[in-house]
A and B are shown apart, each in its own frame.
Chain A
Amino acid sequence: MEELIEFISNNLQIVYIIILAIFVGVELIKSIPAVLHTPLMSGANALSGVVIVGAILVMLHSDPTDYLALALGFVAVVLGILNVVGGFAVTNRMLEMFKKKK
């Protein structure tokens, strides 16, 4: 419990950001037509690939002789970028179909 309070007071800024971001996320998604749920889910999925930034940081900080860390970091970057590129590309493909009717 003490740890938790200490964590919150040390990271007050982060706690504020988290809470505000939760509200922004909720407001953004509220009242979206069902038509767009599938592209939205896939777009949001691409955004969660932001974890790639962490994977890159892991590799940048790795010691070039620490093969295990490098290998794991490498796989993490591949999987992260797969999530990002694949997610955005497929969302774009879906939305393209909606658009050409107009």
Chain B
Amino acid sequence: MADTSIPTPSRAPANLVGWLWGKLGDVLDGPFRALQRHIGANRMAYVFLAPNVLVFGLFSFWPMLLNFYIAFTGGQSVILAERPFVGLANFRELLDCPSWLDPKTCPVAGFSFWTGIWNTLFFAVVQVPIMIVVALVTALILNRDIRARGFWRAVYFYPVMLSPVVVAVIWDWVLKRRGILNALLSDGVDGWNAFVGSNLFVPILAGLSGLAAWAFCQRLLRDRPVWLKLVGTGLGALVIAFILTSFRANLAFEPYRPINWLIDVRSGWPMFWVIFVYTWGHLGFYMLILLAGLQAIPKDLYEAAEMDGTSKSRAFWRITLPLLMPTMIVVLVLSLIRAFQVFDEVYVLTGGGPGQATKMIIQHIYESAFIGDAKRYGIAAASSMLVAGLLLILTLGQLAATRKKAGG
């Protein structure tokens, strides 16, 4: 047919890009062909590797080695030759404390370091389990026979696409002293108090307790005649309503006083919200990986279990969890390593404050080296080495645990 040869308008741009792409390749082909004639086809492998190795060596490998050297030098210069060798002085300043558990007993750098370490440990130990459990629950629900799965999955994943700065601005705006959260809580408390004090309280309460009592009697008096159920319902509703109305005065809350969620010093709220916001921003990623793991479990296993009369909960503990274990380990390792390096969200949200309450270890490194008049690169490098060691131990420990599990 004639119309197969006519390019459709939607394909024309793609063809143009393809043509440009080919032309670009042809232009670059000249020098590469000359080079190939010189060194032979097989050695071209080194040519293809060269840019990567160059960048990788210069900006990953070399800095890694350099870090060791900088950790043993002092001064504030970025020129290596001008940095005096100080031996273990940086490490001594970080580690030479009467007690690591109480950063206040340390010198300035040590105080900042150990505050960061303990805050980060607390953050990781609380955040990682919570996130894994919530991600697992979400993935399990999305793995059910559910409508519009793609939509739910996309919504849960969406915050992962947002930048940490945007996430922090959004939540800062929600958590302000006169932000929407305090307004909602205040309205909620006022509304509840108004409801408790209003004339509607007793009828609505009676209706609800009647419903509850009816559902209860349906179960308890399953085989009895209807009039008995009705009597039971009436009695039950009376009892519930009596109990609740006698406590009516106690049901009203104190008037709500707005909380400064991110600045309130002596409460744990800033740390709570840092954990919450970080989890909000990263949950979708781990949910997605767990969902992929769940969908890789063969369906016929469940069908076989169902035929054997295995209960749902037993199938979960005996089939789902063991087969999901490799994915869970990946998620655990990834989330733990990431949690240890948390910086962006916290830095923009609280700046490590109030005081030092949410200062994480990476912020300590960043601030030692790049903030303030005294640029203590040596302290930062020494701290980096200690953190890298910690992360390495964590990773290797987890890999070993995985291997043991797989072997046993």
Decide if A and B are genuine partners. Answer: no
